[in-house]
Amino acid sequence: MSGPMDGVVVLDLSRVLAGPWAGQLLADLGARVIKIEHPGRGDDTRGWGPPWLEGVGGAERLAAYYLCANRGKQSLAVDLATEDGQALVRALADGADVVLENFKVGGLARYGLDAASLRARNPRLTVCSITGFGQDGPYAHRAGYDFMIQAMGGLMSLTGEPDGMPMKTGVAITDVMTGLYATIGVLAALHERRSSGVGRHIDVALLDVQVATLANQALNALVSGVDPERHGNAHPNIVPYQAFACADGHLVLTVGNDAQFARLADLLGHPEWAEDPAFATNAARVGNREVLVPRIAEAFLTRGRDDWLVELEARGIPAGPINTLSEVFDDPQVRHRGLYRELPSDGRRIPQVANPLRFDGESATSEAPPPALGQDSDALLAEMGLSEADIARLRRAGVVR
């Protein structure tokens, strides 16, 4: 699809989630993204099922995990451990604008495909290297996985009930955020190249991203000198800002200012709370949460969730239901915004979640489904000038698929 990055060529040598997430975002924005995969196994996530989207008429079955991060790409299956495979990728990099990779530090150097080698041949090239811990430092040699990084980077210490085990998030959020930061770095490097004429080597690490995205909690610790406690579904700096049980379910209440709290107090039948010095300001409510929150919780138990949500909405008090994912995709706002998509591929419909960016009212979501392993190899190799005989020879040798 055309888009703001139309004409930009990206080689995506990454696997799993952080790098592929960046590659998919760049594809959604209009870049041509060529996914480089091993001919035998492909991206690791091709095997990360169930659940699977079954193939039709001999088409490859696809793991749901793989489908979440590879829309809009072409797949070239090539063995980087072979000299012929290295030569092919090197030639592609000569004409590319961006390379995404998440090999261990030094892993591509033995193939002559590291950032220094590729940029020596093509100074305009930007290489974005995504690792667990960065290109230098005492942990640089280690592999990094989202779960481990959430633990090491402090996120788990903030997540979970106060008297329970520290918890990870339900989504590999550090990988996703790393993909977003990688994309920002790539866009900045491409913008700079317009004046400098040269690319950059971008070093983005999961641990760095996790620490950087601790946001207010990081500053809570740095300002106070005290490690934040876990608050479960409550907020460390705002009250009431948490989940509450109702007579038949749960809702989330997010009171962001004192005027909203006054309206809440009136709705719950206790307008005097808004005048009580113990509750009138957010700072007071934070200091007295142990007194106030049980009173609010008691009030919410008297009616059903949906009844409360109607009343809260009518009074401009921010609140929402705790939805399952099936409820999310059935939500009228989610349906209206077109966040659920289906892309046709090999006689089947591939579910997708749309890119949230819109340009002039149009969704920036590629209409090309995630590719089967090596589905574009022949076309890409022919485009590079290889003859049918050359392609057949490489396939017989196991260099490409």
pLDDT tens digits along 49-71: 999 999 888 888 999 999 999 99
Rounded mean pLDDT, 87-94: 98
d(CA 109, CA 123): 17
How crowded is residue 284: how many other Cβ atoms within 10 Å of its Cβ? 16
Question: What pLDDT sits at residue 57?
Answer: 81
Structure tokens at 21: 């997430």
The topology (CATH level 3) of 9-213+341-397 is Rossmann fold (3.40.50)
Residue 1 — pLDDT band, cuts 50, 70, 90? low
The whole-model pTM stands at 0.94
pLDDT in tens, 122-170: 999 999 999 999 999 999 999 999 999 999 999 999 999 999 999 999 9
The predicted pLDDT at position 55 comes to 85
Fold agreement (9-213+341-397, 241-323): no
Strand order in the sheet with 98-101: 73-77, 32-37, 9-12, 98-101, 126-131, 201-205
Could you tell me what percentage of the chain is helix, strand and coil, using 3-state DSSP and rounding each to the nearest 5?
A: 40, 15, 45
Angle at 15 between CA 211 and CA 357, to 5 degrees: 65
**What residue segments make up the domains of the chain, in order of their start?**
9-213+341-397, 241-323
Specify whether the backbone of 154 is left (phi greater than 0), alpha (psi in -120 to 50) or beta: left
List, by residue number, the catalytic residues: 175
* Direct distance between the N- and C-terminal alpha carbons of the chain, in angstroms, rounded to an integer: 25
pLDDT, tens only, 170-180: 999 999 999 99
pLDDT above 80: residue 321: yes
Q: What is the CATH number of domain 241-323?
A: 3.30.1540.10
CA distance 147 to 291: 35
